[in-house]
Structure 1
Amino acid sequence: MRWSLQELRKYQESGLSFEEQLDLTQQLKERDKQILDAKSVEVVGTITIDSYGYLLNYRLKTVLTLPSSRSLEPVDFPLDVAVTEQFVTKEQFAQASEAMPEYEILLLEGQTLDVVESVIDNILLHIPLQVLTKAEKSGQALPKGQDWEVISEEEYHQQQDATATTIDPRLAKLSQLLEETSEEDNQ
């Protein structure tokens, strides 16, 4: 899915439609080590050519296998993303005005438009920071081990409140002394 700009100019009147199945597993694994596997990527879209540049609209669908953020178990993560990007040559960018549509503008380095690179970039951009298995999403049990455990933020605040209000009995008399001196200072 790589076209020369000269070839794309032939489609200036009608635009170019494409539909491809891409095997990008190896490229995705090389760019992001957390990706364990990737199914074939279905890409359907169009390229519209005008005086502003090359407008690329496509939808990509795939399923990535990623490690769970908690347990590192493999999780299948379906991805369905709509992408709109505006590619421009250096000359078009130099002549760009405020009338240029406000899409994400990408500068073409050479004389070819490579949709595969755009697909890979957009897949990597849409990988979430937190991936959980179905059991981890539905369950309240967080991981724990010997002498450690993961707790929710709410539990943490409850523990902090409990420790703040509990006074060590060995220091109770000292606390009473501090209260007495503060009462005397107030009078």
Structure 2
Amino acid sequence: MRWSISQLKKFKNQSLNIDETVILPDLTDRKDILSIDEVRVTGQISVHPFRMDVNLNISTAVNMLDSRTSENIQFPLQIDSYEIFDETVEEDDDVDENVHPLDHTLDIEPVVRELIIVNIPQVYSESDEPPKNGKNWEVIDASEFNSEEDDKVDPRLEKLKALLNSDEEKEE
């Protein structure tokens, strides 16, 4: 997914179709991502005098762990993006995130990698409900919550409460 600018300039004011399948190993260091299947990249490159407009469609499947149960699940990923590679833009320029500097080659693999990483969600299998309890904790309803326990004062702080009460009496 790399072309030289001189190669692309031959297609001036035309479009070049993209249809490639690539394997992107070591895409992310997230522990919940087990693997990513082959990535199919399709789209078009529109060649202009000082820039290349790239319309991308990326499709793959991400094999990952369910965020609640740690079971293996496969999440299909479909991404559409419009990217601009411009010869007049420098690396340090503050421009739109979809505008990239263009040097001697047009390399869309880093953009494909970034789009996949940004679009990988945290996944929960649909059949699961969130856990209701765990070790030393439990989810309770608001009706089960007893607010009277909040009014109880820790015996170690009883003297401070008495001090607070005496200050309130002085102010009155």
Which structure 1 segments of 5+ residues have no match? 95-100
Within 5 Å, give how 1:11-50 maps onto structure 2. 11-24=11-24, 26-28=25-27, 31-34=28-31, 35-50=33-48
Within 5 Å, give how 1:119-158 maps onto structure 2. 119-128=112-121, 130-136=122-128, 139-142=129-132, 144-145=134-135, 147=136, 149=137, 151=139
Partner Cα separation in structure 2 for residue 17 and residue 162 of structure 1? 69
Contact 1:32 1:124 in 2 (8 A): no
Question: Which consecutive segments of 4 or more residues in structure 1 shift more than 3 A?
Answer: 149-152, 158-163, 168-171, 177-187
User: Which is richer in helix?
Assistant: 1
Equivalence for 1:81: 79
Partner Cα separation in structure 2 for residue 159 and residue 80 of structure 1? 44
> Secondary structure at 1:123's aligned position in 2?
helix
Equivalence for 2:60: 62
Partner Cα separation in structure 1 for residue 89 and residue 165 of structure 2? 76
Partner Cα separation in structure 2 for residue 151 and residue 36 of structure 1? 30
When residues 11 and 144 of structure 1 are mapped into structure 2, their CA distance, relative to the original with a 3 A threshold, is same
Kindly tell me the number of residue pairs found equivalent between the two proteins: 166
> Secondary structure at 1:132's aligned position in 2?
coil
Partner Cα separation in structure 2 for residue 160 and residue 131 of structure 1? 34
Taking structure 2 as the reference length, the TM-score comes to 0.73
1:54, distance to aligned residue in structure 2 (A): 1.0
Which structure 2 segments of 5+ residues have no match? none
Partner Cα separation in structure 2 for residue 184 and residue 93 of structure 1? 71
Residues 96-137 of structure 1: per-residue CA shift (max 9 Å, x gap): xxxxx967211135x111222221111011122x3222233x
Equivalence for 2:100: 106
Residues 118-161 of structure 1: per-residue CA shift (max 9 Å, x gap): 21111011122x3222233xx1424623x2x3749x86xx8584
Taking structure 1 as the reference length, the TM-score comes to 0.68
Contact 2:12 2:49 in 1 (8 A): no
1:39, distance to aligned residue in structure 2 (A): 1.7
Residues 38-88 of structure 1: per-residue CA shift (max 9 Å, x gap): 122221101112134111111111110122223332221221111111112
When residues 183 and 5 of structure 1 are mapped into structure 2, their CA distance, relative to the original with a 3 A threshold, is closer
When residues 169 and 13 of structure 1 are mapped into structure 2, their CA distance, relative to the original with a 3 A threshold, is closer
Contact 2:89 2:102 in 1 (8 A): no
RMSD: 3.6
